[in-house]
Structure 1
Amino acid sequence: MRGRRRLSPPSVSFGRTRTLGQMSSRRVGFCLSDKKRRRMNLDAFAQFCAGHGVEVLEIDLTQPLEPQGPFDIIVHKLSDVIVEAEHDSQSQQLLANFQSYVSAHPSTILLDPLPAMTQLLDRFASYQIMSKLHNSLRDWRICSPPYLEIHSASELPSVQQALITQDLSFPLICKTRVAHGSLSHEMSLIFSASGLADIHPPCVLQSFVNHGAVLHKVFVVGDKHYCVERPSLKNFPSGPCDRKTIFFNSHQVSKPESSSDLTALDEQMPYVPPPSSEAVAALVKELRAQLGMALFGVDVIIDIRTHTLTVIDINIFPGYEGVPQFFSSLLSHIQSVLDTSPGPLATGSP
């Protein structure tokens, strides 16, 4: 977030335009990291919005926020700042300044609420949400794999017994507790009790489900969602074995162009149906209600044995790669949210 330029005329900050009876265009502030800004192509989105009477500006957290406003709505992904604020005083101050601005301008809509987004940065919290899906979506045969939270190294001697109690089975996939940043993509596959020596708390152990090396990424934008197929880990024999722990980066394995020995199936796969559109819609509706969020992603797989739709991760404001309608969907959602609120500009707030 630091040292990042604010969108400025004439390239991508646009003058106000009369549209649909409004006295002026609506102003949307974006608060993103440099990486997220590039991946989203914020400049192109700003140009797209300009044609629809919506002004897009980039918020610079290192500068006073009051002169940068007012904003009808702020779209953000403050993951970097929130994670760094746990140990960095400058990030703490940036976050505090942002929260103070939002509190001082209650008519400015925040997309998405900070508490809702923050909970997904912690896999302990997000996996608790996922574990409840089985009960609320039982009719759709939707579930999540059993998992075990490991808070500290002091718990390691009792992990084997805990695995039995929590009904986990080998192989296991190990993920970091923090679900953001490059380290969050560093994972491992553990095949036996001896492999448990390779885990580094705090982390989550999750039963690995064979899914035919196919990952279905569900991208949510308000009341719309899109399902994109990606490569994923191949099948492995169930139960403990002597295989050594496999360390991998999930981001590299499941990129659209990924090609890896870990994603190449060793056997001919019988047909596994994709997730039904009705089941995915039910999942998205339930998660929107539980999370209180509009911009998120869900990673789902299909169990090759039971054909159950299995939720394995929830992501904050994902990259939306492979969603050609993303710009129009995001703008449509922003406009629908603004239509329900007069906003600071329409009410004449300073």
Structure 2
Amino acid sequence: MRTPATDIWARLSGASLSHARLQVQVQASSPAAPKCGSANAEQKARNRTQAWEIGISLPKPWPWGGLYDSCWMPPSSSIPPPLGRRRRWHCGPGWRSCCGGCATPTLAWQSAMQRACQLMSGNLSPTELMLEWSQTSFCFYVASRVDKGLISELQNQNWRVLSVGNECNIDVPGVLNVQRLQELVLTLASLIKREICGSSVLVIGYIMKKSREEDFAKRGAFPIYPSKDSLIFVPLSFELPLSLQLQEVDMVLHKITDEIVKIDPNCSIDFPKGISFSAGMSEIIRFVEEHPDFCIMDPFKNIYPLLDRLQIQKILVRLQELGAEGKPKLRAPYSLKVDNFHDGELDKHLAEANLSFPLIVKPQVACGVADAHNMALVFQTEEFSNLSVPLPAVLQEYVDHGSKIFKFYVIGDKVFYAVRDSMPNARFLKSSSGGEALTFNSLKTLPVATKVQQLQTGAQDSKLLDANLVEEAAKFLKGLLGLTIFGFDVVVQEGTGDHVIVDLNYLPSFKEVPDSEAVPAFWDAVRQAYELRRGNAQG
């Protein structure tokens, strides 16, 4: 059974395990009558979900690295393990003796960690354990119900106490009341910045779909305790007034395309005209328009061109400016926009665009809608009949590339790349098509070359890639797009050696880049983006 605090717990403890900046203890208990003195209150207590409390310990002093990582809770709790690499609980109150695997401490914190393990494997109650924390930490206590005795004791030990909700309606001096659970993370971030860390810390509010947030959190990219770049990350909730939340953050990190509801493809050259966003995203857009000095990463107008494959094509065509003698040709794929698949002069238009079969057919709208990734590989004109790819569409040359694709990621001023298996050469695809267009979803059902096909073609070796040339292109695109984080795909054409950039997207997951490199680069990029935006606003 999940408690109301499960999502908050997962977010807090996930940040802890990833970055060793937080210790979190949750003591879940059966519903108990609050000390309100009424039978009605007792009945409400029996009816409501499991009560919960969270203790948060921020070690002091904090040397921005080398802190120990520990997270524990009683084994009877129904709350699932936190996000992180180790999906199991460590030792804790009521648990077996410490196995020494609670964390990997540095020498500076060895004695503190040993003391923590002794406490956890002993017979101390959760309350006694939390009181012990205050000897070496700045501590917060958050609860869904008020226990005056415990709160008084914690306050005497300099704990900051927060209550969530006001079921008991008891006014306790020094207790900060948070009306709704969704406010908790932002409230904690604001307190950490204001009362512990100071103005040098930036609170970054983020908006993205849940699965994307979880991917970033699993990698430790969203700590609630300041990162080495003095960043705290908090989710913005559409269930709460956004204007108040935006006043508490220094910058917004967004994946605006996650909040697209509908796109009119006929308005693509005039985006954002024709785009319907969620109500929450629309409110953020209005807020930014009304507060031009407010920092966002990145400006919405810089992202709109990447929603349209025709606009992407026009951007990539400019890569020819980087041509140099003795280097491979760096280019965009040959392409043609079509509004219908039954144009009597289609063959003529294909020849004018330097296109020949096979062709890959893509919707002009590049992302943000369900069918943006529904594509087809067409081997002859007749196969355009009954094609299910949405119109308008872009016809693009299919580049034989030895079944390897190079995924490049620009994260601030750093460029990374990884090699992945890709679609086989056209002759293999044609032999398996059965005389029909081959349809697929590029995110879900992309036909990847088999081992046998790779052996028969001699899969492209990464040595064939001119990484320096592509890194030069990455810097060129960064200046052209005005984006902090983006990605693009490169294939090396068999025979010619042309380096063809076939895709361009904003804020990719960069999951192929090791966490040890990607996460620090991500934090650096966020900090640099803020300083650049703030400098431009003040200039």
TM-score above 0.5, yes or no: yes
Q: Structure 1 residue 157 and structure 2 residue 344: aligned?
A: yes
Q: Structure 1 residue 173 and structure 2 residue 360: aligned?
A: yes
Deviation of 1:35 (Å): 2.6
Cα contact 1:234–1:265 (8 A) shared by 2 = yes
Alignment of 1:176-255 (within 5 A): 176-180=363-367, 181-199=369-387, 200=389, 201-237=391-427, 243-252=435-444
Q: Which AA in structure 2 matches 1:37? A: E
Q: Structure 1 residue 63 and structure 2 residue 255: aligned?
A: no
Deviation of 1:204 (Å): 0.9
Distance 1:90 1:203 in 2: 20
Deviation of 1:279 (Å): 0.7
Q: Structure 1 residue 119 and structure 2 residue 305: aligned?
A: yes
Higher relative contact order (CA closer than 8 Å, sequence separation 6+): 1
Describe the SS at the equivalent of 2:192. Answer: coil
1:269 maps to: 458
Structure 1 residues 208, 268: closer, same or farther in 2, change over 3 A? closer
Which one of 284, 289, 301 corresponds to residue 103 of structure 1? 289
1:283 maps to: 473
Describe the SS at the equivalent of 1:50. Answer: coil
Cα contact 1:122–1:179 (8 A) shared by 2 = yes
Distance 1:39 1:197 in 2: 40
Deviation of 1:337 (Å): 2.6
Cα contact 1:253–1:263 (8 A) shared by 2 = no
CA RMSD of aligned residues (A): 3.4
Structure 1 residues 6, 190: closer, same or farther in 2, change over 3 A? farther
Structure 1 unpaired stretches of 5+? none
Distance 1:60 1:263 in 2: 49
Distance 1:253 1:275 in 2: 26
Q: Which AA in structure 1 matches 2:497? A: H
Q: Structure 1 residue 27 and structure 2 residue 203: aligned?
A: yes
Q: Which AA in structure 1 matches 2:300? A: L
**TM-score, structure 1 normalization:** 0.83
Which one of 58, 62, 75 corresponds to residue 253 of structure 2? 75
Distance 2:297 2:231 in 1: 16
Q: Which AA in structure 2 matches 1:223? A: D
Instruction: Name the % identity.
Output: 22
Deviation of 1:178 (Å): 1.5
Deviation of 1:22 (Å): 5.7
Structure 1 residues 306, 22: closer, same or farther in 2, change over 3 A? farther
Q: Which stretch shifts more, 317-326 or 85-94?
A: 85-94
Q: Which AA in structure 1 matches 2:221? A: F
Deviation of 1:15 (Å): 3.7
Structure 1 residues 221, 270: closer, same or farther in 2, change over 3 A? closer
Deviation of 1:54 (Å): 1.8
Structure 1 residues 7, 186: closer, same or farther in 2, change over 3 A? farther
Deviation of 1:152 (Å): 4.0
Structure 2 unpaired stretches of 5+? 1-7, 9-180, 266-273
**TM-score, structure 2 normalization:** 0.56
Q: Which AA in structure 2 matches 1:138? A: G
Structure 1 residues 63, 286: closer, same or farther in 2, change over 3 A? same
1:142 maps to: 330
Distance 1:58 1:263 in 2: 46
Q: Structure 1 residue 38 and structure 2 residue 224: aligned?
A: no
Cα contact 1:82–1:118 (8 A) shared by 2 = no
Cα contact 1:16–1:54 (8 A) shared by 2 = no
Describe the SS at the equivalent of 1:331. Answer: helix
Cα contact 1:233–1:253 (8 A) shared by 2 = no
Superposed CA offset, 1:167-186 (max 9, x none): 10111011111211442222
Q: Which AA in structure 2 matches 1:331? A: W
Distance 2:405 2:380 in 1: 25
Q: Which stretch shifts more, 170-179 or 80-89?
A: 80-89
Larger Rg: 2
Structure 1 residues 147, 213: closer, same or farther in 2, change over 3 A? same
Describe the SS at the equivalent of 1:228. Answer: strand
Cα contact 2:424–2:449 (8 A) shared by 1 = no
Distance 1:286 1:160 in 2: 34
Describe the SS at the equivalent of 1:47. Answer: coil
Describe the SS at the equivalent of 1:265. Answer: helix
Q: Which stretch shifts more, 36-45 or 67-76?
A: 36-45
Structure 1 residues 76, 89: closer, same or farther in 2, change over 3 A? closer
* Paired residues, number: 334
